[in-house]
A and B are shown apart, each in its own frame.
Chain A
Amino acid sequence: MGYSKDQLLARLKELQIEFSQYEHPVVLTVEAQAKYVGNMVGVLSKNLFLKDKKHRYYVVSALADTKVDLKVLSQRLGLGKGGLRMAPEEALGEILQVPLGCVTPFAVVNESARHVSLLLDQGFKSQECCIFHPLSNDMSISLNAQGLDTFLKSIGRNPSYIDLEANPPIGKDQPPDLAAFVPSDSPVLSDLPEKAPSAQDSTGKSVGAATNSAAVTAKAVKPSGNAQNVKEKPVDSVRPSIPAADAGKFVEELLDRASALLISEDSIKQHGGQLGAEVANNIKKCLREDIKNLATIFKNTAYTEGFYAGTRYQPKRL
């Protein structure tokens, strides 16, 4: 199991890191958190858990006011224009081992997060104290950037702060300036959306799926620039949704593939003008089949769930 809040607090004390803590009801968003910690000394942080096409994960931790543009960040990391996406919910639990709404730089203490890259806002350094969740969203702790550094160094991490608002030109002659932050090892976890939980018991699945589809359809596809989204995710029910029936994941998968192909189209455009249109057409041809297959899987799964529910339907008592 992952590091607990208490273990973290104990560790901070051991390392003689100064911090203050404040307990409050569970919060999922920075706004909600702000309501409760207004009395604390320190500036609120916003924390994003992101993933790229090659299933590498990143925690971006910034001052609440810092503007984080995922498109720019993606390019600066050398992942192309649409390379970064919000990580799926399961990844939160599996890799960072924190609940929803609780992304925090402290989560990299977990073994499972060994390969997660940590990007810290240089804005933290100019603040006296910054506020983070200590692996649980019913508490906030406020500490100085140096304290954070001490902790990170103690777990073998080298803290580096970057100007998250910078937008340097990236091109042939200007290599991505944050390329060093891309994890070099491939993560241990397999691609989460593909896992179909076949070991689940069937009744659990249909009930879980029904509530999840409702929760999922409420979730809009997140625009890349919106940094609040990680904390705004609805608290998921205990049962994980069947990936194939999750409209959100389905669309994410489609968009992932589309942008993956579009990115290579982009680089071709940089090098050979006319080839672009030709390649784009070929790409559409490949993509069409792939997307149709995905759509068929999606449809079949939705039908199956409906069918299953139908077989256990209890007619209205007259």
Chain B
Amino acid sequence: MEKIEDKNRQQEEEQVVNPWEVSAKEGGKIDYDKLIDKFGCQRLDQSFVDRVQRLTCRPPHVFLRRGIFFAHRDFNDILDAYERGEKFYLYTGRGPSSEALHLGHLIPFMFTKYLQDAFKVPLVIQLTDDEKCMWKNLSVEESQRLARENAKDIIACGFDISKTFIFSDFDYVGGAFYKNMVKVAKCVTYNKVVGIFGFTGEDHIGKVSFPPVQAVPSFPSSFPHLFSGKDNLRCLIPCAIDQDPYFRMTRDVAPRIGYHKPALIESLFFPALQGETGKMSASDPNSAIYVTDSAKDIKHKVNKHAFTGGQESIEKHRQYGANLEVDIPIKYLNFFLEDDAELEHIKKEYGAGRMLTGEVKKRLTEVLTELVERHRRARAAVTDEMVDAFMAVRPLPNMFD
């Protein structure tokens, strides 16, 4: 098992990537190649993207085409099984630490929705309100409230209620789920969990015993109301790469308790507006575009706070072109501009200095505004009753249709 740096040692030369902290080497950006090496997962290359296109008979999602989801574990096994007619289910989640969701939070959900539609498979979504209660020192009530609020934004991403089960840990842990938690916990020593997650003697026992909670949704027997009799069903977990430690642990344990290892498909971090030094932070409103931002806010944030690779003056820019490596608007367009041809054109012109930063920012503002608008409209249609329905423990008879 790979060891991750203790998060207390902030000044380390190495980058730090774990579920609670993401930061690059001093002043640099995240080295994803090193990360893949260190974690031991695989690169998702073009052959996978082509294969997904063949199997699903539809164009691959923009995140696949652009290498946003760039790493995986055993995704080929999932695809092999799918080709043989064996379905799988999706598992993703959110730690509801704040009411304000930004675009970075939406990325795994947008991709998961695509996977649900393309492969026609069911999905379970875990809201780790207990985790946030413990790590962020929220009250139980507050973390439950945030979980419900976040559920509304998640639902607004367009999941199909007849194939989706959303649950909060505080509500659902127990029964078959808890039995699996104990099975997993028995297979992971204290030393190991310290090694993976960097716990110290000062951390409370809640934290130390949390990892099985995030592990067991990977096993179909945790959801008897959904998958009873389907113990062989595989699980695919779309997530950001900082969640990898949980699932490395899970994959290590799975064969020992007689379950399939869950497969993973992992994404890059969505860069902050100010530049590529880490994740967006929910506590700094200007580091991110929030789903509650108005068109005016978005325009202002993009114009005033986005870090660009444009040159200092127009003359210099026309001469040298923009530095696409660090330019945030280009990176954001990479995530959200659907049209491949248009993106290529913008990159070419901007990189050559023929297009100015203002134009790129304008296009980005349009794209983001449309995205946020669409999300807001969908969010307005989500009622408390709908959240209750999504979170009800009920069978999903049409989940593979």
Cross-chain contact B384 with A307 (CB below 8 angstroms): no
Segment 268-318 of A: residues with Cβ below 8 Å from B: 290, 292-293, 296-297, 299-301, 303-305, 307-308
| Residue in B closest to A242 when the chains form the complex, CB atoms | B383
Contact with A along B384-401 (1 / 0, CB 8 A): 111011001010000000
Which residues of the other chain, B, contact A205 by a CB distance below 8 angstroms?
Answer: 383, 385
Q: Is the CB of B162 within 8 A of A299?
A: yes
Tell me the B141-181 residues at the A interface (CB within 8 Å).
155, 158-162
Given A293-B374, A304-B386; A196-B381 close (CB under 8 Å): yes
Contact of A299 with B161 at beta-carbon distance under 8 Å, contacts A198-B383, A293-B378 already known = yes
User: How distant is B345 from chain A, measured CB to nearest CB, in Å?
Assistant: 15
A234-269: CB near B (< 8 Å → 1, else 0) gives 000000001110000000000000000000000000
Q: Are B385 and A300 touching (Cβ within 8 A)? A: no
A18 contacts the other chain (CB 8 A) = no
Verify B160–A195 contact, CB threshold 8 A. Answer: no
Q: Give the residue name and chain of the B residue nearest to A245 (CB).
A: B381
The smallest beta-carbon distance between B198 and chain A, in angstroms, is: 40
Task: Give A243 to B392 CA distance when docked, in angstroms.
Answer: 23
Chain B CB within 8 A of A202 CB = yes
* Interface: A31 (CB within 8 A): no
Question: What's the nearest-Cβ distance from chain B to residue A90, in Å?
Answer: 15
> A300's contact among B160, B374, B377, B388, by CB below 8 Å, is which?
B160
Chain B residues touching A, majority SS: helix
Would you call A194 an interface residue if the criterion is a C-beta within 8 Å of the partner chain's C-beta atoms? yes
Answer whether A195 and B380 are a contact pair too, CB < 8 Å, given A202-B385, A307-B392.
Answer: yes
Closest chain-B Cβ to A209's Cβ sits at a distance in Å of 10
**Interchain CA distance A296-B377 in the complex, whole Å:** 13
In whole Å, how far is B146's beta carbon from the nearest beta carbon of chain A?
18
**Chain A: minimal CB distance from B379 (Å):** 9
Q: Is the CB of A300 within 8 A of B380?
A: no
| A315–B385 alpha-carbon span in the complex (Å) | 22
Give a binary string over A192-211; 1 marks a CB under 8 Å from any B CB, 0 the rest: 00111010001001100000
For this complex, into which size category does the number of interface residues on chain B fall?
20 to 34
How many whole Å from A242's CB to the nearest CB in chain B? Answer: 7
**Does A194 lie within 8 Å of B161, measured CB to CB?**
no
- The residue that A304 contacts in the complex, of B378, B380, B385, with Cβ under 8 A, is B385
CB-defined contacts of A195 to chain B, threshold 8 Å: 380
- Give the total of A residues in contact with B, Cβ under 8 Å: 23
Task: Name the CB-closest residue of A to B375.
Answer: A293
Q: With A293-B378, A307-B392, A308-B389 known to touch, is A300 a contact of B161 (CB < 8 Å)?
A: yes
A292 and B158 CA atoms in complex are apart in Å by: 9
The smallest beta-carbon distance between A281 and chain B, in angstroms, is 12
Chain A minimum-CB-distance residue to B162: A303
Chain A residues closer than 8 Å to B386, beta-carbon distance = 300-301, 304
Interface centre among A195, A242, A292, A293 (most CB of B within 10 A): A293
Task: Using CB atoms, name the residue of chain A closest to B155.
Answer: A300
Q: How far is the CA of A308 from the CA of B160 in the complex (A)?
A: 17
Query: What chain A residues lie within 8 Å of B394 (beta carbons)?
Result: 307
A243→B382 CA distance, assembly (Å): 11
User: Taking the nearest CB of chain A, how far is it from the CB of B366, in angstroms?
Assistant: 13
In addition to A196-B380, A293-B378, A300-B155, 20 A-B residue pairs with Cβ atoms within 8 Å of each other are A194-B380, A196-B381, A196-B383, A198-B384, A205-B383, A244-B381, A292-B158, A296-B158, A296-B160, A297-B378, A299-B160, A299-B161, A299-B162, A300-B159, A300-B160, A300-B161, A301-B386, A303-B162, A307-B385, A307-B392
Ordered by A's residue number, 16 sampled pairs between the chains whose C-beta atoms are within 8 Å are: A194-B381, A206-B385, A242-B383, A292-B158, A296-B160, A299-B161, A300-B159, A300-B160, A300-B381, A301-B381, A301-B386, A303-B162, A304-B161, A307-B389, A308-B385, A308-B389
A contact set with B: CB distance below 8 Å:
194-196, 198, 202, 205-206, 242-244, 290, 292-293, 296-297, 299-301, 303-305, 307-308
The 5 closest A-B pairs by CB, nearest first: A244-B381, A307-B389, A304-B386, A304-B389, A300-B161
